[in-house]
Structure formats: C-alpha cells, structure tokens
Amino acid sequence: MYANRVFKAVIVPIALFLLTSCAAVNSSVRNSPENANAAKKEQPLPAHVGEAYLHFLNGYLAEGKGDYETAMNEYSAALTYDPDSAPLHVAMAKTLMKLGRLSEARADAEKAVQEDPEYQPAYLFLGALYSASGTNDKAAEEYEKAIAINPKKEDPYVYLSVIYATDGKSDKAIDTLKELVKVKPASAMAYFYMGRIYSDMKEYDKAIAAFKKAAFLKPDMEMALTSIAIVDEIKGDMPAAQKEYEKILKQDPDNQEVRARLAQLYIHNKSYDSAIEQYKNLLKTNPDNSDAITNMAYIYLEQKDYKKAIEQFELLAARRPNDPKPRFYIAQVYEAEEKYKEAALQYEQVLEKNPKDIDSIMHLAYLKEKIGGLKAAMAYLNSAMKENPERYELYLYTGITLDSADKPRQALPYLDKALKLESGNDEVYFNLGVTYDKLKNWDKMVSMIKKAVSINPHNAEALNYLAYSYAEKGVNLGDALKLARRAVNLKPDNGFYLDSLGWVYYKKGRMPQAVKWCKEAVDAVPDDAVLREHLGDVYFKAGNKDAAKAQWEKSLELDPKNTALAKKFRDAGFGEPPSAKASPARANHKAGKSSDLKIIHDSGK
C-alpha cells in the first residue's frame, strides 16, 4: 500500500506539485529544524515508484490538453510499475470513460476498490459511471459506501440526493441533504441543493429559504442568489426577482447571465429604456452578442422606432452574413411600416439563402397581393406550390387568401388539398369551416369547426366562431355559452370573444350579463362598428334607450353603410342617424380578428 499513499498525495492540481517540488525552495524553510528532523525520517522512494510517477505526470498533462489516448497510454505505463495503486486505477478509469470505453472504465474502478477499499474517489467514480448509464440504484449504493468511508465529505451526499431526486424520490433526497447538515452544519452546498429540489417540488417558499441559507453561509455563492431570483420569477413575483438581480449586479457587474435575465425582466415590466441599458452593457463585454442585438431591435420595434430597429438588425446581418434570420427580421420591420416593396426585397434575400423558408414564402405572397393584387399573389403561390408540393401551409394560405378575397368556392380545393396533406391540423379544419360558412353550408361549417375544437381544445378562435354562429342563429345557446366562456378564459383580453359571450347572454335574455360583457368588449375594441351595435342592442333591450342611442350613433359613424342599423335607429324614434366620420374595414367578428392579414410572427425564427 506504500504506492497508494504516494499517489493519494500526487493526485492534486499540477501547479501545487510544481510549487512544492521546485528547486528554488526558500533556503530558510528548507533548512529549518523541523525540515531537518523530517529529512532524517524520510525514506527514498523506490525506483519503480519514481517511474510510475513520471508516467502519471505525463498522463495528467495529456489529459489536461484533451489528449485522452496519450493519457491512457501513460497511465497504463504507470500501472506496469505500480499495479496496486488505487488512485492510478481511478485516473485510468476516468480517461477510459472519456474515450467511451465504459466497461473497461468500470473494471479499473472496481480494481481500485479491491486495492484500497477505503479509497473514496473510486466509489464516487463508480457512482458517476452507473448514473451516466441510467443504473441509478447501483449509483446510489456506491455513493452510500462513499459516505460510510468519510461522512464529512459533501460530494457523495450531494450526488446521492441528485440520484434520489432524478428518480422522483424527493423526500429521500431532502433527507440525505439534511444528514449532510447534521455532520457539516455550515455546508452551503447542502442548502443549495435542497433549494433546487424544493424548487422542482414546487415548494417555492422552502426553496427560497434554502437558497438564502446557502447564500448566508457562503456570501459569494452567486448561484444561490441567482436561484432566489429565478424562483421569484417562477412564482410571478417579478419585483422581488428584479431586486435580487440588481443586488447581484452590484456585487458582480460582470455577471452577464444575470444582466441578461434582468434585461428580460425590464422588458416584461415594459421598462424598455432600462432593458436597453442592460443590453448595451452586455454588448460592451461581447459586441457579438446576437441575443442582445436582437432583443434591442425588438424593443425598438415595440416602441415603433423602426429606424433604430432596422439599424440593430442590419448590425446583426453584418455579423452573420450567412444567416438569413436578420434579413427576415428587417423584412418584418418594413412590413410593420407598410413599406411593402422594401419588405419584399428583404424576403427575397432570405429565400436566396433558404429557398424552402415557408414563412418568407407566405409573407412574400401577402406582399405581392398588397403590391400587385390577388392575381400577382396567386401567380407566386402557384409557383411556390409547384416547387413545394408537400407543404400543406402553402395550400392553406392560398385557400385563406382566396376566401379573404370573397372567393370561397375557389378557396375550397386548396383547403381540401391542405387537409389531405395534414389531416390532423386544427387550423385547416377551422378555415374549411369558415369557407363552408361563406358558402351557406351550415352543417359542413359546424362539422369542421367542431373537428378543429376536438383536435385542439385550446383553439380559442374556433371556440368563439362556433359560439357566435350558434348565437346568431339562436340555436344551441347552452352549448354556445360554454364555448364562449372557454374562448374568453383562454384569451380574456380579446374584445371579440368578450362580445360573443355578451351576445350569447343577450340571445338568452340575460340582460345584466349581456351588458357587462358587451361593455367590456367595447372597452377592449372601441372602434369596431359591430361591437358598438351589439352594445346598443343590449342597452335598448335592457331599457336604457339613451345609452343605446349613443352606441348606435357611434356604430354608424364607424360604418355609415349599415342601412339595417340606420333603419333600426329611425324605428326606435331616434330620428335620422348621424353622418359618418370614418369608415374603417369591418372586422371578421366570428373569427375574432381583422379580415386583413397581419404579420406572422414566428417565434421559432
């Protein structure tokens, strides 16, 4: 076992070895009485141990450089001189694992245990090896053996707790860490991992308490402080998270991860100037930080500062000339500005690099319709479908385009083709339902919309469409109420969905609820003629004629061509309706969105 004692001492950072073995040791220390006495007792190393150590040193250096083949050969040579060394067997096992030779690695680690049953690193390595192969029960056994050898060492407790947590045994994981605290009360790592496990258990208050204890025991433990902020974010306590991140940055202004998270919080709070300040700081450290550039651009886009947004995306494009995404972003900015020709040029550049980019193809089709009309859009889409016959999105988009142009009969074959290519897609069924509605095929419309909802119960647009259709027809009002409520629960800020819910109540004769929801709808979308008319109808039926008159007047100002409402206005005894002030496009109320196509923001881009 003499060599074991030698190698237990040498498996330390190589810098420490060089420092302690340097020939230029301070002479006063070297010649001290204590060292003189030690020298008398010191025995010279056997020659074979010296050879073993030389090969170990070469292996250690090669491993540090990532040259694992050389490291393996050197450790193997060392073992020929000292085959009984447990530390050498563990060093060899670690290298073999890095080379993917797991069975050999396990054999060497087991050999280390045979040579020295008290050598704790061998058990830790075996635990890691079993854990990596998914054999967690065996890993746990090895970590328990390691704890038995040295109960005051933190690592085996932490590793064992992770194994238990991975297997869903969270209580055992916590108990393991509590055992560590008993033998080592000042273990910051014990409390840190408790916090992580409590967080996974969604016991957020306990998690924060554990992280705070870890930070108290080790004030420079930034990962504990960061974890407190992250849990605050998960809890939805954004002010607390922001405070924690700001505190960390005061201690460590160079913490880029925390700065980036703080910037995201500022965006969440709409503190855009503060977010930009953080991103500028990040760019000082790393001018190539693409995320910072992109997020700054989107902030400027949100602020409608299109010039600065384009500057940022151009900067990104210059840094990533072979990446089409920056051009896509620039195109979206131009599209938001309604600079359709400039936007089209950018999408064309994207497609030069990636001809199959489906989002750019559909955006370009939309722009061609804006620039050259439906004929130009159809010519482009037909060419795109010929080049990409397997992409259902193109057939779906073509059908929507024709349907929006009041050509539902022409739209139907394209939508049917989309359904053949993608039979389980709720959006295809939904748009088929809309088209059948325009073709006055009630049964087909209901069938298609119901199918869309069955595929995706969270399709708020389909839920709202069917609810409003039932309400307009005065049928299935019980089902209509359930559908409308589901749509509102999914999107409580959507004015059209709020109106549908109010309209169902109106049809059911429940005026207080109808007033409540239709008023909320108008508050959300004040410039929609249909919503104003509905609120007027509700007020009129509820007996509030003055309020009804005011809403109908506003509706007629928004849509002076509504002759049916003008007649209703006169029949109610309100005289001649007011002259129009404006006539914006009427919304597609059932769909809950404008009939004009909007920019498609692809979060995957």
Closest Cα partner for 328 from 338, 318, 317?
317
Q: Is 559 helix (H, G, I), strand (E, B) or coil?
A: coil
Low-confidence residues in the chain, pLDDT < 50: 1-45, 580-587, 593-605
Nearest to 160 by CA among 139, 190, 179: 139
Q: Which of 304, 330, 333, 370 lies closest to 597 in space, CA to CA?
A: 370
- What's the pLDDT score for residue 579? 64
Q: Give residue 213's Cα distance to chain centre.
A: 29
The CA–CA distances, whole Å, from 393 to 73, 384, 396, 416 equal 57, 11, 5, 12
Helix axes 154-166, 170-183, angle to 10 degrees: 170
Is 384 in contact with 357 (CB distance < 8 Å)? no
Query: 538-556: per-residue pLDDT in tens?
Result: 999 999 999 999 999 999 9
The span from the CA of 505 to the CA of 102, in Å, is: 68
Q: Give the contacts of 458 (CB within 8 A, at least 6 positions apart).
A: 490
**Which architecture characterizes domain 1-150 according to CATH?**
Alpha Horseshoe (1.25)
Q: What pLDDT sits at residue 604? A: 31
- Nearest to 208, CA basis, from 184, 183, 234: 234
* Element holding 374 (H helix, E strand): helix 358-387
Q: What is the reported pLDDT for 19?
A: 27
Cα distance between the two ends of the chain:
61
Q: CA 329 to CA 357: how far, in whole Å?
A: 13
Which residue has tokens 């704890």? 147
- Residues with Cβ < 8 Å from 17, sequence gap 6 or more? 10, 57
- DSSP 8-state assignment for residue 510: -
346: left (phi over 0), alpha (psi -120 to 50) or beta: alpha
Measure the CA–CA gap between 202 and 238, rounded to whole angstroms: 17
pLDDT the model gives residue 50: 82
Please give, one letter per residue, the 3-state secondary structure of 116-146: CCCCHHHHHHHHHHHHHCCCHHHHHHHHHHH
This prediction has a pTM of 0.64
- Main-chain phi, psi angles of 358, to 5 degrees: -65, -35
Q: Domain spans of the chain?
A: 1-150
What's the Rg (C-alpha) of the chain? Answer: 36
At 305, list the tokens. Answer: 């500062």
Tell me what pLDDT residue 49 has.
72
Which CA distances in Å does 136 have to 113, 132, 139, 168?
Answer: 19, 8, 5, 12
Q: Count CA atoms within 13 Å of residue 241 on its CB side.
A: 22
Both structure tokens of 339: 């600079």
Alpha-carbon span 602 to 520, nearest angstrom: 30
- The SS3 of residue 399 is helix
Q: Which residues contact 70 (CB under 8 A, 6 or more apart)?
A: 58, 59, 62
Give the model's pLDDT for residue 498.
98
- Tokens, residue 104: 């050999």
Eight-state DSSP code of residue 593: B
Beta-ladder partners of 588: 593
Q: Which one, of 146, 126, 145, 147, lies nearest residue 136 by Cα?
A: 126
pLDDT value, residue 46:
53
Distance CA 43, CA 32 (A): 19
What whole-number distance in Å separates Cα of residue 474 and Cα of residue 487? Answer: 19
The rounded Cα 196 to chain-centroid distance in angstroms is 19
List Cα–Cα distances, 24 to 12, 31, 37, in angstroms: 21, 13, 20
SS3 179: helix
How far is residue 417's CA from residue 392's CA, in Å, rounded to a whole number?
7
